[in-house]
Chains A and B, each alone.
Chain A
């Protein structure tokens, strides 16, 4: 199956669809094939990423010098809110699970599709509806939201901008997220191929499974919070309004009960991708398979109980603050377990530093900085000083962009030849990693220093002593723009001019590397029977793999 000769003879899922007409846009937007849906998500999510990135670059440009540069203060508020809303709800929450989870989770467990293919298509449609509503919130009279992506009460009730539309968009997107979560949990329980026991599943499946549980458990809370906020805006019920006896802090609790677990929705699938890439390019089985699998579940569980560390300065009791601080430290443990296991996997491995592996190296460095500064923020004493400063912004971008964002790119470079059957320019990709790494640190590291010096987040203007560091950070944003452009250009160009990819270009042994690139419609000609551990590289001989 894997020798690459079959590529030319069999039909890929691009040539054979689930709809009546095999070609044209309808064969995509009405397809129930998990691979096509994954690519639909890829196109839509990548578009929103670019929009969010452009907004970020505009913000950085505004901050290049003190005072007004290119936009007024209100526009700046709206820009950072949109940047946050787009990046969080439209890019990073659905990003990895919806694209790569959809495409590879069924293949990884030896299934032909997810458990509910039509529900899967519906989830994409709901996602697009949510995105459309977000677009309406921008263009409708009233103007884009200016509350920040956290929509804190009371300002979100009083703001005259289109808060209701924007949060309703988030509600709809949450619904899409829940349905995807339900689909993946059921798929993992019901669709595994014969012999695919829970502990033979690739770790990407484990982490996507843990993510799916968080999606199911946490998302309804943001849904009800958003509904209450909308009702508050339209009817003035008073649930969050202190003038009527309500409690704005309660809103913060409800918001973070979702939004903290949500950061694990963002990072866990990324950790799964890392656990796929490192063994493949080290030619060595993963170190501590069960520890990594269980640590995903531990993160999902403990991550649910740390939300109030976002509220250390909001006015909650000392007892609550100490407990939440302690739990925050505990949640760092399973993340540490993963980092050590990944590094241990590389030890004495036969390392092949191809681009996906290099992205993962960048990830480990950036994510470690992000994780450790998270502990600085989780400590009560230091958090009082650093709360709502650039330090938080830097920490968040190191874990989310440096963590999930970097792995999003790594996953693209790892699975691109499988998804599209074409190989990109490897040399250019290598240079891009270096540029990206430099750009990233130039862009975000100065923010740690500025935050420590006292620069508050979300401010339109700043004191002159921050000028140099703000300037350096803006230069970083331009370098980052170049890096992102090179990534997109390299990948898109490969679709036309890239050489045809081998079925197994990296020497991976999980199931996706044992089928053609791109895969056929039903993934496997016959139901695979699993006998090996997921990262057993002795299989490479059986698979006739020759390293090139």
Chain B
């Protein structure tokens, strides 16, 4: 790891460089993100246990096809992020930027699908507080409540992820991130993997329990 050698040499500036420390901080932050979603998964588990049949019934309303497509999109985008880091390590700056742009486009594709999915639901009158939904059983109301809250919070993380990746593109172009100083890009990639990982749990819990 040539990165680490810089750590101890560069000790004169007030803000020093420590790549291992930076990664450690990022992992700790991701840990808090997991716990944030963990709280939601806990709530989901409690109500799934309480209303198993109604959860199954409600899940039939969801479009497994779009869900599966979005899973594939996110998994692919995780791959392109990793490739982007490798490209930069091999000093191929242009390819690295290109792969990041592809990642961002995939993320936007994901969000477009999400938009179609949500707006279809809302057009059918299924949204929190709607008459259609309130006429349903309690378990179904909770299922859709959790569906909107959890996928919504996840979508918010996608948006944040896109902003982070956009910054990474700028940093690479401005040579702030270079082939021997790329810990920012690694941390941005880690964040993106987290977003991907959460979706991998959301997908079966909402779409595959019919």
Contact = CB atoms under 8 A, between A and B. Distances in A.
A220 B38 contact: yes
A32 interface: yes
A182 B138 CA distance: 40
A237 B28 contact: no
Interface of A: 18, 32-33, 112-113, 115-119, 178, 181-183, 185-186, 189-191, 216-217, 219-221, 223-225, 227-228, 231, 235-239, 244-247, 250, 254, 257, 521-522, 527
Nearest to B147: A237
Interface residue SS majority, chain A:
helix
B25 A117 contact: no
A424 to B, nearest CB: 31
B65 interface: no
Of listed B11, B20, B43, residue having the most chain A CB within 10 A: B43
Nearest to B7: A190
Given A182-B32, A250-B46, 7 more contacts: A115-B25, A116-B21, A220-B39, A231-B149, A237-B129, A239-B149, A244-B134
B147 to A, nearest CB: 10
B24 A189 contact: yes
B32 A216 contact: yes
Given A116-B25, A190-B18, A239-B43, A216 B31 contact: yes
Contact of A237 (B42, B50, B148): B148
B139 interface: yes
B145 A225 contact: no
A185 B28 contact: yes
A239 B146 contact: yes
A220 B34 CA distance: 9
A238 B35 contact: no
Contacts of A33: 14
Interface string B123-142: 00000110000100111011
Given A219-B32, A224-B40, A245-B141, A186 B149 contact: no
Contact of B149 (A220, A228, A522): A228
B1 interface: no
Contacts of A521: 14
B72 to A, nearest CB: 28
Contacts of A247: 46-47, 50
Given A186-B28, A189-B21, A239 B145 contact: yes
A246 B141 CA distance: 9
Interface in B135-189: 137-139, 141-142, 145-146, 148-149, 153
Interface in B7-63: 11, 14-16, 18, 20-22, 24-25, 28-29, 31-33, 35-40, 42-43, 46-47, 50-51
Given A117-B14, A117-B15, A247-B46, A238 B145 contact: yes
29 contacts: A33-B14, A113-B15, A115-B25, A117-B14, A185-B24, A186-B21, A186-B28, A190-B24, A216-B28, A217-B31, A220-B32, A220-B39, A221-B35, A221-B36, A228-B43, A228-B149, A235-B128, A235-B129, A236-B129, A237-B146, A238-B138, A238-B141, A238-B145, A244-B138, A245-B50, A245-B138, A246-B142, A247-B46, A250-B43
A219 B28 CA distance: 13
Nearest to A257: B39
Contacts of A32: 14-15
B140 to A, nearest CB: 9
Interface residue SS majority, chain B:
helix
Contacts of B128: 235-238
Contacts of B21: 115-116, 186, 189-191
Given A239-B43, A244-B138, A217 B15 contact: no
Contacts of B22: 116
Contacts of B51: 245
A252 to B, nearest CB: 13
B14 A112 contact: yes
Contacts of A182: 25, 28-29, 32
A116 B138 CA distance: 47
Interface residues of B, number: 40
Top 6 closest A-B pairs, CB basis?
A: A245-B138, A224-B39, A237-B145, A220-B35, A190-B21, A220-B36
A486 to B, nearest CB: 38
B139 to A, nearest CB: 6
A220 B38 CA distance: 9
Contacts of A254: 39, 42-43
A237 B149 contact: yes
A223 B37 CA distance: 10
B154 to A, nearest CB: 13
Contacts of A522: 14
Contacts of A113: 14-15
B18 A115 contact: yes
Given A237-B148, A245-B139, A178 B43 contact: no
Contacts of B25: 115-116, 119, 182-183, 186
Contacts of B35: 217, 220-221
Contacts of A221: 35-36, 38-39
A219 B38 CA distance: 12
Nearest to A175: B32
A238 B138 CA distance: 9
B153 A220 contact: no
Contacts of B18: 115, 190
Nearest to B21: A190
Contacts of A238: 128, 138, 141-142, 145
Of listed B21, B22, B25, B46, residue having the most chain A CB within 10 A: B25
Given A190-B24, A217-B35, A254-B39, A227 B153 contact: yes
A522 to B, nearest CB: 7
Contacts of B139: 245
B35 to A, nearest CB: 4
B69 to A, nearest CB: 26
Contacts of A119: 25
Nearest to A117: B15
Nearest to A179: B29
Contacts of B31: 216-217
Nearest to B143: A245
A320 to B, nearest CB: 14
Contact of A190 (B20, B33, B146): B20
Given A32-B14, A239-B43, A245 B32 contact: no
Contacts of B148: 235, 237
Contact of B14 (A18, A231, A257, A527): A18
Given A228-B149, A247-B46, A250-B46, A220 B33 contact: yes
Contacts of B153: 227
Contacts of B146: 237, 239
Nearest to A18: B14
A492 to B, nearest CB: 30
B27 to A, nearest CB: 9
